[in-house]
Amino acid sequence: MLRLVAAGRSNREIAEALFISVKTASVHVSNILGKLGVAGRGEAAARAHRLRLFD
């Protein structure tokens, strides 16, 4: 899911890609932001790239 967030996908787009509800996607995105200790999606994407979480 972090890969989708980093790609700039909205909660609706994430939900559709993963076959989950928009609310569930929102909760998961919030949890990811909290675990990374960041305030927003852009910061989460930057942190993920700095940590080399993607190939």
The mean predicted confidence, pLDDT, of the chain is 95
DSSP code for 40: S
Helix segments in the chain, DSSP class H: 2-6, 11-18, 22-36, 41-50
pTM higher than 0.85 for the full model? yes
Retrieve residue 2's tokens: 């972090």
Q: How many CA atoms lie within 13 A of 5 on its CB side?
A: 24
Delineate the domains of the chain, giving CATH numbers in brackets. Answer: 2-50 (1.10.10.10)
What is the C-alpha separation between 10 and 26, in angstroms, rounded? Answer: 9
pLDDT of residue 22: 98
What is the C-alpha separation between 22 and 14, in angstroms, rounded? Answer: 8
Low-confidence residues in the chain, pLDDT < 70:
none
